[in-house]
Structure 1
Amino acid sequence: MTAAFFTGLALGLALIVPIGAQNVFVFGQGVTLGMPRALWAVVGAAVCDTILIVLGAAGTSALLDSVPGLRPAMLIAGALFLTYLGVKSLRAKPTELDDETGVWSRGQVLRRTMAVSLLNPHAILDTVGVLGAAITAQAVGTRLPFAAGAVVASWTWFLVLATAAHALRRFMTKERRVWFDRISGLILLVFAGWLAIEFALTFTGH
C-alpha cells in the first residue's frame, strides 16, 4: 500500500507540476495577494483536482468522449475565460496595485481559481482521464492509497507554489509586479490560443 501511495504521488506530481494555466494563476495569486489570502487559491485548485481525481477513479472518464459536444464546449469556454484573465493582467498598472489585496474576497479567489481549474480541458483530461485510468488499473486493494497519493500531490504542489510566490513578494516593487502580471497575462493568452486552436480543429477532423 505504501508503494501504491508513492506511485500515485509521483504520477500526480508528473501531471500537475508542468506549467499550465492553473499553476500560473495560483502563483500569480501568491505574488499579488500573499498569505494567507493565497491559501484560498490553493484550496480552490486542490479541491477541484481532488473532485476530478475521485470522478476519474469512479470511471467517469468515458463520459468525456460519450457526450456529444462536451469537449468543444469545454475548449471554447476555457479559451474565453483565459482570454479575459490574460487581457486583465496585461492591462495592469502600478496605480491599480495599491489596494488590490483589500479588494479581493475569499469568494472571488475561490471562484476564479475553480473556474481556471474546471474550464481547463487539459487539466480535466489529466486528472479524470490519465489518473482515473491509472487508479482503475490498480489492484482493488491499492486503489485507495494510489488515489490518496495523487490527491496529496495536488495539495502539496499548490501549497509549495503559493508559498514560493509569497516569498517573492519582498523583492517585488509595484513596477516589477506589473511586469509579472503582464508576463502572466501573455502566458494565459498563449493557453487561450492553444484551446481556441484545438476548438477549431474539432470541426476540421484533425
Structure 2
Amino acid sequence: MTAVFFTGLAIGLALIVPIGAQNVFVFGQGVSLGMPRALWAVAGAGLCDTLLIVLGATGASALLDSVPGLRPAMLAAGALFLAYLGVRSLLTRPTELDGEDGDWSPARTLRRTAAVSLLNPHAVLDTVGVLGAAIAAQSAGTRAAFAAGAVSASWGWFLLLAGAAAAMRRLMTPGRRVWFDRASGVILLVFAVWLGWEFVHAVA
C-alpha cells in the first residue's frame, strides 16, 4: 500500500508541479498576503483538486466527453477569467498595494481560487481524466491509497508554493511587488490567449 501511495503522489506531482494558472495564482497570493492568509488559497486549490480527483475516480471523465459543447464553454469561460486576472495584475500600481489587505477576506480568496482552479479546462481534464483513469486502473483494494497519494501531492505542493512565496514577501519592496504582479499578469494573459486559441479551434 505504501508503494501505491507514493506512485499516486509521484503522478500527482508530475501533473500539478508544471507552471499553470493555478500555481501562478497561489504563488501570487503568498507574495501578496503572506502567511497565514495565503493558506486560504492553499485550501481552495487543494479542495478543488480533491473534488476533481474524486470525480475522476468515480468516472466523471466519461461525462465530460459526452456533454456537447461543454469543452468549448469551459475554454471560453477560462480564457475570459484569466484575461480579467491578467489585465488586473498588469494595471497594478504601488498605491493599490497599500490598500490590498483591506480588500482581503477568506471568502473572496476562496472564490477566486476556485474560479482559477475550476475554469481551467486543462487542469480539469488532466485531473479528472488522467488521474481518474490512473485511479480506475488500480485494483479495488489499492485505489484509495493511490487517490490519497494524488491528493497529498496537491495539498503538499500548494502549501510549499505558498510558503516559499510568503518567505519571498519579506524581500519585496512595493516597486518589486508591482513588477511581480505585472509579470504574473503577463503569464496569465498567455494562458488566456492559449485557451482562446483552443476555443476558436473547438468551435471551428
The TM-score with structure 2 as length reference comes to 0.99
Equivalent residue letter for 1:150 = A
Equivalent residue letter for 2:54 = V
- For residues 52-90 of structure 1, the C-alpha deviation after alignment (integer angstroms, 9 at most, x for no partner) is 000000011011110000000000000000000000000
> Counterpart of 1:163?
163
> Counterpart of 1:93?
93
- For residues 135-164 of structure 1, the C-alpha deviation after alignment (integer angstroms, 9 at most, x for no partner) is 000111110000000000000000000000
Q: 1:24, CA displacement in angstroms?
A: 0.1
Q: CA separation in 2, counterparts of 1:144 and 1:177?
A: 42
Q: CA separation in 2, counterparts of 1:114 and 1:203?
A: 26
Q: CA separation in 2, counterparts of 1:185 and 1:165?
A: 16
Q: CA separation in 1, counterparts of 2:101 and 2:135?
A: 40
Paired residue secondary structure (1:54): helix
> Counterpart of 1:55?
55
Paired residue secondary structure (2:28): helix
Paired residue secondary structure (1:35): coil
- For residues 26-66 of structure 1, the C-alpha deviation after alignment (integer angstroms, 9 at most, x for no partner) is 00000001111100000000000000000000011011110
- For residues 104-154 of structure 1, the C-alpha deviation after alignment (integer angstroms, 9 at most, x for no partner) is 111100000000000000100111000000000011111000000000000
> Counterpart of 2:117?
117
> Counterpart of 2:175?
175
> Counterpart of 1:187?
187
Q: CA separation in 1, counterparts of 2:178 and 2:47?
A: 29
Equivalent residue letter for 2:59 = G
Q: CA separation in 1, counterparts of 2:35 and 2:102?
A: 13
Q: 1:101, CA displacement in angstroms?
A: 1.7
Q: 1:103, CA displacement in angstroms?
A: 1.6
Equivalent residue letter for 1:62 = A
Paired residue secondary structure (1:37): coil
The correspondence of residues 11-22 of structure 1 with structure 2, limited to 5 A, is 11-22=11-22
Q: Percent identity?
A: 76
Q: 1:13, CA displacement in angstroms?
A: 0.3
Q: 1:203, CA displacement in angstroms?
A: 2.1
Paired residue secondary structure (2:142): helix
The correspondence of residues 27-66 of structure 1 with structure 2, limited to 5 A, is 27-66=27-66
Q: CA separation in 2, counterparts of 1:85 and 1:60?
A: 28
Equivalent residue letter for 2:196 = A
Q: CA separation in 2, counterparts of 1:99 and 1:93?
A: 11
Q: CA separation in 2, counterparts of 1:121 and 1:138?
A: 25
- For residues 82-103 of structure 1, the C-alpha deviation after alignment (integer angstroms, 9 at most, x for no partner) is 0000000000000111121232
Paired residue secondary structure (2:163): helix
**Which runs of 5 or more structure 2 residues have no equivalent in the other structure?**
none
Equivalent residue letter for 1:12 = G
Equivalent residue letter for 1:163 = G
The correspondence of residues 104-143 of structure 1 with structure 2, limited to 5 A, is 104-143=104-143
Runs of 4 or more off by more than 3 Å in structure 1?
none
Equivalent residue letter for 1:59 = G
